[in-house]
Amino acid sequence: MLEDWLKSSRHTVVFTGAGMSTESGLPDFRSRHNGLWKKKDPSQIASTKALNENVEAFIAFYRERVLGVKEFGPHQGHYILAKWEQQGFIRSIITQNVDGFHQEAGSKRVAELHGTLQKVHCQTCGREYSSENYVNNDFYCECGGVLRPNIVLFGEALPQEAFQFALEEAEKADLFIVLGSSLSVTPANQFPLIAKENGAKLVIVNMEPTQFDRYADQVIHDKKIGQLLIELDKKISSPIKKV
């Protein structure tokens, strides 16, 4: 079913969540068994309040996350999505992930709804740096301000440019594929519904059920994302699709 839809669709959009990254080795936040938020209170460690009032704990937590991203990298599924974009099978990726693995694998049209750990910027003057500063224990800007990752903290709005791009892509989609998201975080979880309301077929691939499974045209719970993409790629990716 999904194979046929990928072949026939003219505007496929892929939406990725933590399940896409966990297959690279990165820990999840909300999984029932070993999610990061089972161990830490996000309001105390990943919020604007923490940045302003508990900066040492904030920096320690995010340095650990930056080091985690440096330790791992894209898996085969990321590379397949990048190839599909080149071949015209997919038009864009909307991601909740902050690891930058889609771009590292070669994807170009990516909306990072929650920002990226690949860069940091000064909380005071806004100057941008590589996240290598965090790796090297350099946490302060030349102006004296605190460097923070380019991610959306609890209490902050989504980046407007990424949000607008994602909205436009969801509205254009005739096939919308969710890969590895619990679809529990608003407003990001509204994009699959927007696509569905605009006539797209909705496919949800996630190891655990989501609240939006009942709206999907196809739900896949029994396959890892990488395995599914490898199988699909063997079936669809020989000829170059129309663009």
Q: Tell me whether residue 116 is annotated as binding.
A: no
Q: Is 18 annotated as a binding residue?
A: yes
Buried/exposed code over 198-222 (b: 16+ C-beta within 10 A; e: otherwise): eebbbbbbbeeebebeeebeebbee
Known binding residue 182? Answer is: yes
Cα separation, 3 vs 235, whole angstroms: 7
Active site (annotated) includes residue 114 = yes
In terms of C-beta density within 10 A (0-12 exposed, 13-18 middle, 19 or more buried), how is residue 123 classed? middle
Answer yes or no: is 30 a known binding residue.
yes
User: How distant is the alpha carbon of residue 242 from its chain centre?
Assistant: 27
Among 159, 229, 235, 174, CA closest to 19: 229
Is residue 207 within 8 A of residue 45, CB to CB? The reply is no
22 assigned binding-site residue: yes
- What angle separates helix 190-197 from helix 160-172, to the nearest 10 degrees? 30
Is 188 a known ligand-binding residue? no
- Residue 29 marked ligand-binding: yes
213 appears as a binding residue in the annotation: no
Q: Is the peptide bond before 149 cis (omega within 30 degrees of 0)?
A: no
> Which one of the listed residues 75, 78, 102, 114 is annotated catalytic?
114
- Judge whether 114 is annotated as a binding position: yes
Q: Is 143 marked as a binding-site residue?
A: yes
Asked if residue 107 belongs to a known ligand binding site, the reply is no
CA distance 205 to 227: 11
Binding site members for NAD(+): 18, 22, 29-30, 96, 98-99, 114, 181-182, 206, 225
Annotated binding site: 18, 22, 29-30, 96, 98-99, 114, 122, 125, 141, 143, 181-182, 206, 225
List, as residue ranges, the binding site for Zn(2+): 122, 125, 141, 143
Question: Binding-site residues for nicotinamide, please?
Answer: 29, 98-99
Question: Which active-site residues does the annotation give?
Answer: 114
